[in-house]
Amino acid sequence: MAGLPQPDTIANEIFETASKRREEARGYLGMSSIGDPCERKLWYMFRGFTPVPPEGRALMIFELGKRIEDILIEYLRESGYRIEATQTAFDDFNRLFRGHCDGVIHGITQRPHILEIKSANRKKFDNFKSDGVQKTYPVYWAQVQCYMGYAGLERALVVVYCKDNSDIYSERIHFNRHEFEELRRKAYRIIIADDAPGKAFAQDSLECRYCDYRILCWNPTEHIQTVGQCKNCVWLKWDGLSPICSHRNHSFPVHHLDRKCDDWSLALFVKTPFIKEDGTLVMPFDSHPRYQWWNGGQSIADTLAELGADPGVIEDYVWRWEERAGIIEADDGLPRYEAERRALEITPVYPKAA
Ligand code: SF4
Ligand code: SF4
């Protein structure tokens, strides 16, 4: 007779099933996370980098939270409050910044309130009660500031449900236009950033230890990217809010950030070229491909200009390099690409395996 499944096996099977319900990466920057203090993390999210896979248990907690939302809305309605506009969507910056509120609730005061429902364990719940939403979970506070700003409302109601004992905490939050504009500016800054913003915390901080992007951020060579898209391609650049492909072979505006072509390469490069005191350009082999002129990247002159090189240095480099490439091309009958490569070998631009 086949053995009965063991309790641990059953739990593991459930967690495994839950882990498969992972949501696809969103194609936008979410208002529900814009209050996070690490802009680098928000940039990773926005650009569709693969996070550390969450455990099935964590996903189950998240799903439970969503169901609690529905249950509480039912209870609020039965208690006499009118709730409308559930899951109303807000967006900005060509729909690259988006959010959905839980609803708009009427009957709290004479003014309608944005409704946001959250759930928490006992410890966190007690913090909400003693310190309020802004101090306990500034990300929630920022989220409702965005919703109020985009909905044109001046009040929000946050209802927190305690998962341990069904206790309920509610707090009214006033709109703060200054904070709203700050959050908008932050969203814009992250959307148009060509490279990852700086790290906000130290590697051994609690924030980094629990961050879904800790491997990508601190050990990028161990990162596993499961989805390649224009938005996480190293050739993507922003012209204001317009994404463009900067690959020399096919520069064009990018209309679908979630697609990719054969030249896709993950935007993980962190090394930049630099100029030594004697004016020599040092080009790490694994520098960002946009500097790799031999790989479709920008010209040496553009790189030197970007690094703030003296105009004399730029002229000297370009003159020497281009002249040599032209001579080699003509004398040896080589294609331009090969002639440029040879010219580089004898012009003092030193690729370095950093
Ligand atoms: S690991 Fe730390 S610094 Fe890096 S993205 Fe996450 S929170 Fe920010
Ligand atoms: S190289 Fe291809 S994948 Fe990368 S941004 Fe350009 S079109 Fe998109």
Q: Which residue has the higher pLDDT, 171 or 303?
A: 171
With H, G, I as helix, E, B as strand and everything else as coil, classify residue 313: helix
Domain residues for the domain of 156 are 14-191
Nearest-atom index, ligand 1, CA of 207: 7
pLDDT in tens, 35-63: 999 999 999 999 999 998 777 888 888 88
Distance between Cα 93 and ligand 2 center (Å): 21
- Whether residue 208 is contained in a domain is answered as no
* Average pLDDT score over residue span 207-220: 94
* pLDDT band at 2; cut points 50, 70, 90: low
Distance between Cα 262 and ligand 2 center (Å): 8
- Mark 19-56 as b/e (b = at least 16 C-beta within 10 Å): beeeeebeebbbbbbbbbebbbbbbbbbbbbbbeebeb
Instruction: Check whether residue 182 and residue 309 sit in a common domain.
Output: no
- Whether residue 141 is contained in a domain is answered as yes
**What is Dmax (Cα atoms) for the chain?**
88
Ligand closest to 209 (CA) is 1
9's tokens: 């096996």
**Phi, then psi, of 89 in degrees rounded to 5:** -100, 145
Which of 213, 210, 290, 216 minimizes the C-alpha distance to 248? 290
Question: Has residue 279 got a pLDDT over 60?
Answer: yes
Distance between Cα 50 and ligand 1 center (Å): 14
What's residue 145's pLDDT? 98
Contact 115, 105 (CB under 8 A): yes
Looking at ligand 1, which residue's alpha carbon is closest to its atom 4?
217
Question: Has residue 349 got a pLDDT over 70?
Answer: no
- Whether residue 125 is contained in a domain is answered as yes
Instruction: Check whether residue 31 and residue 163 sit in a common domain.
Output: yes
Instruction: Report the percentage of the chain scoring pLDDT > 70.
Output: 92
The helix or strand, by DSSP H or E, that contains position 214, with its residue range, turns out to be helix 214-218
What's residue 354's pLDDT? 41
Instruction: Check whether residue 174 and residue 25 sit in a common domain.
Output: yes
Query: Residue 145: which CATH number?
Result: 3.90.320.10
Which of 268, 288, 321 is the last residue before a domain boundary? 268
* pLDDT band at 310; cut points 50, 70, 90: confident
Rounded Cα–Cα distance for residues 143 and 134 (Å): 11
Nearest-atom index, ligand 1, CA of 208: 2
* Average pLDDT score over residue span 215-240: 91
141's tokens: 């506070």
Distance between Cα 113 and ligand 1 center (Å): 34
- Whether residue 200 is contained in a domain is answered as no
With H, G, I as helix, E, B as strand and everything else as coil, classify residue 213: coil
Instruction: Report the percentage of the chain scoring pLDDT > 90.
Output: 53
- Contacts of residue 300, defined as CB under 8 A and 6 or more positions apart, other chains included, come to 281, 293, 317, 318, 321, 349
Question: Has residue 148 got a pLDDT over 80?
Answer: yes
* pLDDT band at 220; cut points 50, 70, 90: confident
What's residue 334's pLDDT? 87
* Average pLDDT score over residue span 2-20: 74
Q: Which residue has the higher pLDDT, 251 or 212?
A: 212
Rounded Cα–Cα distance for residues 297 and 273 (Å): 13
- Whether residue 213 is contained in a domain is answered as no
Q: Give the DSSP per-residue string, 106-144.
A: ESSSSS-EEEEEEEE-HHHHHHHHHHHHHHH-HHHHHHH
* pLDDT band at 184; cut points 50, 70, 90: very high
| Strand ranges in 13-81 using DSSP code E only, listed in sequence order | 29-30
Ligand 1 close to Cβ of residue 108 (< 6 A): no
Looking at ligand 2, which residue's alpha carbon is closest to its atom 4?
264
What's residue 20's pLDDT? 72
Ligand 1 close to Cβ of residue 45 (< 6 A): no
Rounded Cα–Cα distance for residues 157 and 172 (Å): 5
Instruction: Check whether residue 112 and residue 180 sit in a common domain.
Output: yes
Instruction: Check whether residue 264 and residue 326 sit in a common domain.
Output: no
pLDDT in tens, 238-271: 999 999 998 877 778 898 999 999 889 888 766 6
Q: Which residue has the higher pLDDT, 296 or 86?
A: 86
What's residue 36's pLDDT? 97
Q: ∠ CA(264), CA(52), CA(147), 5° rounding?
A: 90
- Contacts of residue 59, defined as CB under 8 A and 6 or more positions apart, other chains included, come to 18, 19, 21, 22
Contact 213, 51 (CB under 8 A): yes
Looking at ligand 1, which residue's alpha carbon is closest to its atom 2?
208
Q: Which residues pair with 114 in a beta bridge?
A: 104, 156
Q: Which residue has the tokens 């310190």?
A: 131
Ligand 1 close to Cβ of residue 47 (< 6 A): no
* pLDDT band at 129; cut points 50, 70, 90: very high
- Whether residue 127 is contained in a domain is answered as yes
Amino acid at 66: K
What's residue 304's pLDDT? 83
With H, G, I as helix, E, B as strand and everything else as coil, classify residue 185: helix
Instruction: Check whether residue 65 and residue 107 sit in a common domain.
Output: yes
Which of 191, 220, 242 is the last residue before a domain boundary? 191
* Average pLDDT score over residue span 72-84: 95
Q: Which residue has the higher pLDDT, 309 or 204?
A: 204
What's residue 353's pLDDT? 45
Number of domains in the chain: 3
Ligand 1 close to Cβ of residue 208 (< 6 A): yes
What's residue 85's pLDDT? 83
Looking at ligand 1, which residue's alpha carbon is closest to its atom 5?
41
Across 9-18, 136-145, 162-171, 186-195, least confident range: 9-18
